[in-house]
């Protein structure tokens, strides 16, 4: 029987682990196959306090993990496949293996969204990607497109300029949603060309991406553009599939937490980070809520006489 199981190992989960292990709760972290979360596919993090020169995302997560390990967090690099929160102790499964816990902290984060085109699926890994950091280097001196108008799209486009001959940003409106500083960098970059009011409607090619079809949604005109790679950067979906029916989620699938706390609809189950935050979604806010979750869990266990 575990006192606390933490599911997910991004900034939220690892901060919860640091706090829970320092509180002698000896947490078990089931970190997932994609351990470290979204920062593992980020390059420079320039807005995490304490690193005035910036730090690479994977390096930051490595430091978080080392700190959690130092205080006795145990790690299991597998995915939780099923949970039962209907009674105490809570039950969690990793395949056939079952775990029991008095409290659970969910910090499973969010994953990249796709447009839903058949061709997008077909070319995934053969020119279509949702992670420039992972795949950008394959497109040296080639032409790539980035779909989206938020900060992620700006970040991906700017990163891709390091490799690509030209980067085309395709955005469905005539203004970016991204912060002004990022949007300005993209607009002023000599290697970046922007297609406003435009939608990617198809991806064509034989074995790999060769051309894309883009529709101008003002004129309805469709043009075919030679392209070697397509990066989809249109936002994220919370990783809550295994919690459906177990705890309350909002219509977009984010876990609902009680105001000013990490309490979910099930007493003893807490949620932190992007999995419950469609608004801020920053490493620092995730880390902050991970700290809150560990404190909430510790106090809750104490009140249970544990």
Residues at the site binding ligand NDP, with contacts judged by CB under 6 A: 47, 115, 147-153, 155, 172-173, 177, 234-236, 281
**Taking the mean position of all CA atoms in its chain, how far away is CA 39?**
8
- Is 134 known to be catalytic? yes
Are 278 and 251 in contact, with CB atoms under 8 Å apart?
Answer: no
- Residue 236 Cβ vs ligand NDP, minimum distance, rounded to whole Å: 6
Nearer to ligand NDP, 55 or 80 (CB): 55
Nearer to ligand NDP, 35 or 233 (CB): 233
Nearer to ligand NDP, 62 or 177 (CB): 177
Active site residue: 44, 84, 134, 174, which one? 134
Q: Closest residue to ligand NDP, Cβ-based?
A: 150
- Is 131 known to be catalytic? yes
Nearer to ligand NDP, 34 or 155 (CB): 155
- Is 291 known to be catalytic? no
CB contact burial 43-75 (16+ within 10 A = b; e otherwise): bebeebeeeeeebbbbebbeebbebbbebebeb
Nearer to ligand NDP, 152 or 246 (CB): 152
- Residue 88 Cβ vs ligand NDP, minimum distance, rounded to whole Å: 36
- Residue 153 Cβ vs ligand NDP, minimum distance, rounded to whole Å: 6
- Residue 152 Cβ vs ligand NDP, minimum distance, rounded to whole Å: 3
- Residue 225 Cβ vs ligand NDP, minimum distance, rounded to whole Å: 16
* Active site residues per annotation: 131, 134-135
């Amino acid at each position: 029987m575990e006192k606390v199981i933490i599911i997910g190992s991004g900034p939220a989960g690892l901060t919860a682990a640091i706090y829970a292990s320092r509180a002698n709760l000896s947490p078990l972290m089931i970190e997932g196959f994609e351990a470290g979360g979204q920062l593992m596919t980020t390059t420079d993090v320039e807005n995490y306090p304490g690193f005035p020169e910036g730090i690479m995302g994977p390096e930051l997560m490595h430091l978080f993990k080392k700190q959690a390990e130092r205080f006795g967090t145990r790690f299991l690099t597998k995915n939780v496949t099923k949970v039962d929160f209907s009674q105490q102790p809570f039950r969690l499964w990793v395949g056939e293996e079952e775990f029991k816990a008095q409290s659970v902290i969910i910090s499973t984060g969010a994953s990249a969204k796709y447009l839903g085109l058949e061709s997008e699926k077909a070319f995934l890994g053969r020119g279509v990607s949702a992670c420039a950091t992972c795949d950008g280097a394959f497109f040296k001196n080639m032409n790539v497109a980035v779909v989206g108008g938020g900060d992620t799209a700006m970040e991906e486009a700017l990163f891709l300029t390091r490799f690509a001959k030209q980067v085309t940003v395709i955005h469905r409106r005539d203004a970016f949603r991204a912060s002004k500083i990022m949007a300005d960098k993209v607009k002023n970059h000599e290697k970046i060309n922007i297609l406003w009011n435009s939608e990617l409607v198809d991806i064509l090619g034989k074995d790999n991406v060769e051309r894309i079809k883009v529709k101008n949604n003002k004129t309805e005109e469709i043009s075919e553009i030679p392209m070697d790679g397509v990066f989809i950067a249109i936002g994220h979906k919370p990783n809550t599939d295994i919690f459906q029916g177990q705890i309350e989620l909002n219509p977009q699938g984010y876990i609902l937490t009680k105001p000013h706390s990490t309490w979910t609809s099930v007493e003893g189950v807490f949620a932190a980070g992007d999995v419950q935050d469609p608004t801020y979604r920053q490493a620092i806010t995730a880390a902050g809520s991970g700290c809150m979750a560990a404190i909430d869990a510790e106090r809750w266990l104490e009140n249970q006489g544990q």
